[in-house]
Structure 1
Amino acid sequence: MHKLTFEKIYQSNKNLVYNLALQYVQNIEDAEEITQDVFLSVYDKLDTFQNKSKVSTWIYKITIHKCLDFIKAKKAKKRFGFITSLWDEKPDLPKGELVNFDHPGVLMEHKESLQELFGIINTLNEKQKTVIILTKIEEKSVSETAEIMDLSPKAVESLLQRAKNNIRTKGNY
C-alpha cells in the first residue's frame, strides 16, 4: 500500500472540495475560503486517517462540516449585524433572502431560476440540504451518500423525499 501524502490528496480532491463548497454557498470567494479551511484540516488530521473509508468519503465529510460551520457563522454574523443596527441612527434593514448567487458556469438566462432554487434549497435543514446536494448535484448514489453522512440508506431516502417535498411546496418545482 502506498503512503498517502498531502500533495496527492490535495491534487486529487481540490476540485471536489471547491465544487462541493460552491454548491453550499453559491459564492466563489466563500468557496475558496472553505476549500482552504478543508485542506488545513486535512493537513492537520492526515495522520489520524485510518483507511476505514475511501479518502474521498473522508474529504466529503470534512467539507460538509466546514460548509455548514461557515453558513452558521455567516448567519450569526448577519443576525449580530442586524441587532446592532437596531441601535444605529440609520439602520440598514436586511434585504430579502435571495442568495448571492456567484457561481461560474451558470448561463445568465438560467441564473435567476437557479438563484430561486438555491434560495429554496438553502431554507432546508442541514441534513436535507446535504442529501439534495450529494444526490442531485454531486450525483452520489444513496449508498455513497449514506456513508458520507453516517446514515442508513433508508434514512437518506427518507431525507431525500422530505427535501423534494419541501422544495415542491416552497417553489414551483
Structure 2
Amino acid sequence: MTTDQESSIINQIIGGDTQAFAVLVDLYKDLVFTLAIRMLKNREEAEEVSQDTFIKVYKALPKFKGESKLSTWVYKVAYNTSLDRIKKNSRSYNEVAIDSFTENQIKTLDNALDTLEKKEQQHTIQYCLQQLASKDSFLLTLFYFDELSLQEISQVMSMEANTVKVNIHRARKRLASILKQQLEPETIQSYERTRN
C-alpha cells in the first residue's frame, strides 16, 4: 500500500467510514493473527488479541503520525497487545541453551532441512517455532516470513537495530537447537527405513 493510499484510508476511518476500517482490518488481519499466535501459542487468545489490536488501532488512529509505515505501526500495536496478554497470563516458556551451538552446526541443520520435502519442512519449522519463547518466535516471523527490515522491526519492538540483529541471531541459534533435537530422531528413522 502506498503512502497516499494509507493516508486516504486513515482519513476515511477518522471521518467515520466503517467500510474503510473493514478494508484496513482485511489487509492486516492475517499478519496480526499470525504474530499473536506466534507469541501466545494459543488460538483463542490470539483471536482475542487480534480483536483487541484492531480496537486499539481504531482508537489510536487519529494519533498516528505517519513516521513509519502503517503496517509497521499495526505490528507494533499487535506486539504490545500480545506482550500485555503474556504479562497478564505470566506464563513461563521453554528456554534453550545456546552456549555451545556453532555457526557450522546451524549450516549443517540448514542442509538437513533442505533434504526434507517442502511440506515436511514447513511443518517442522512451524512446530519448532512453537517451541521458542514468544519474543524469539515473533522476531523470526517478522524477519524471515514477513520480511521486515531490521529498522522496521526495531520500530515495532522499540529497540535499536543492532539489538534486533543480535536477538535475531540468538533466536536463530535457539531455533537451530530445537530443529537439531527434532531432526535427529527423523534422520535416524529415515536411515533405518533405507537399511531395511
TM-score (norm 1): 0.65
**Are the structure 2 counterparts of residues 43 and 28 from structure 1 closer, same or farther at C-alpha, using a change threshold of 3 Å?**
same
SS at match of 1:71: helix
Q: How far apart are residue 21 of structure 1 and its match?
A: 1.3
* Alignment correspondent of 1:66: 81
* Alignment correspondent of 1:155: 163
Greater share of helix: 2
Describe the superposition over 1:42-87 as per-residue Cα deviations: whole angstroms up to 9, x where unpaired. Answer: 12212211112111111000000111121222236xx9xxxxxxxx
* Alignment correspondent of 2:49: 34
Structure 1 residues 1-173: aligned runs within 5 Å:
2=8, 3-5=11-13, 6-75=21-90, 114-119=126-131, 121-122=132-133, 126=135, 128-169=136-177, 172=180
Greater Cα radius of gyration, structure 1 or 2: 2
Counterpart-to-counterpart distance in 1, 2:172 and 2:60: 35
Unaligned runs of 5+ in 2: 1-6, 14-20, 95-118, 182-196
Counterpart-to-counterpart distance in 1, 2:29 and 2:169: 30
Residue identity (%): 27
Of 64-73 and 32-41, deviating more is 64-73
Letter in 2 for 1:118: Q
Matched length = 142
**Is 2:37–2:43's contact at 8 Å kept on the other side of the alignment?**
yes
